[in-house]
Structure formats: structure tokens, C-alpha cells
Amino acid sequence: MCLDIYCLVELNHTQTDNIWKIIKMGFQASNFTSRAFLMKIVQLFFVFIVFMIFRLADSGDSFHWGNGPLVGTERAENDMILGILTSTGYFFIVLVLMVGIVMGDTSKFSLCLFNLFGFLFYLSAGSSQIYVYRSQHRPHTGKHKADAMGAMAILTSFTFLVDTVWSAMDIMRGEQEG
């Protein structure tokens, strides 16, 4: 009987320690000045611009990635899906990562992977957008908007590339110390 009470007290003590670890991991003002958070602010700025071009560039309506939904080819669908996934998905992902960084999250591998795929997705979406509007099958209107959206997506990809390199350097530095 006494052994059962001891286990229960030990279990409660472990739970209390876990709660304190979660609280200690919480908000810290110094995280606002970390390199990772400052880079996410820059990325949020660029991602927001691409998102707003996508969402509002056609006189307040969405400006479609690629040829848009009216062209029934698989390429047009793939361009549109990649563009929407990238421009809307990464807007949300960057916001979530910013909250995590402010709360003290230090998941270096996840951050590196999000940055790497952000680079690849934005580079692909921007390149595809420019390619479509310079091909013979381009839509009749919106060439300048499409070029601007594609160029801005490619510029956004470079912010993710820089952050990918820094994240990889942090991972390598951590392996050398350990």
C-alpha cells in the first residue's frame, strides 16, 4: 500500500516538473531580437506581398497562378495548386513559426526543412508563373501582373534560401559542440 502512494506522489512530482518546463519555455522578450525571429519578420513581409498580389491583383479579385481555372490542362491545374498552396500555406506557416520562436521553440531541423521547402516552392511557383505568361499559351491579359507576382515569389524564395543556409549552419554548429 505504501509503495502505491509513493508511486502516486512521484508521478505527481513528475507532472509538476513537466508543467514548470512548459511554463519556463514560454514567452521571453529576448526572443524578439533573435536572428530567426527577425528573419521571419522579413519573410512575413515578402510572403504577405505575394499573398496580396495573388488575392487582390485582378481589380480586387484573385489573380490566378498559371493559366487559371478556365484552362483544362493538367499543367494549368498544377500551377494553380502549387501557387495557392505556397502563397496561402506559407503565410500561415511563417506566422506559426514566429509564435513558436517567441515562445522559445528551438526545433532546428523543422525550421531548416520549412525554410528549404519555402525556397523550393516559391522559386517553382514564381518561375512557373513567369514561364506561363511568356509562352504561346498565355492568357490575353495580366502579363505585367503575372510577371510582378512571379518576380516577387522568386525574391521571396531567396529570403527562405538565406534562412535555410543559416539554419543549416546552426545545425552543423550544434553537432560540432555535442
pLDDT tens track for 39-55: 999 999 999 999 999 88
The distance of Cα 119 from the centroid of its chain, to the nearest Å, equals: 9
15 inside domain: no
pLDDT one-digit tens code per residue, 133-159: 887 777 677 788 888 999 999 999 999
Do 97 and 38 form a contact (C-beta atoms < 8 A)? no
Q: Is residue 71 part of a domain?
A: yes
Residue 160 lies in a domain: yes
Do the Cβ atoms of 139 and 68 come closer than 8 Å? yes
- pLDDT, one tens digit per residue, over 80-131 is 889 999 999 999 999 999 988 888 888 899 999 999 999 999 999 999 989 8
Q: Which residues is 58 bridged to in the sheet?
A: 61
| pLDDT confidence band for 13 (50 / 70 / 90) | low
Inter-residue contact 141 to 61 (CB < 8 Å): no
Would 92 be classed as within a structural domain? yes
Residue 162 lies in a domain: yes
Residue 7 falls inside a structural domain: no
Residue 39, domain extent: 35-172
**64-72: which pairs have CB atoms within 8 A and are 24 or more residues apart?**
65/125, 65/128, 65/129, 65/149, 66/128, 66/129, 66/132, 67/132, 67/137, 67/138, 67/139, 68/139, 71/137
Total number of domains constituting the chain? 1
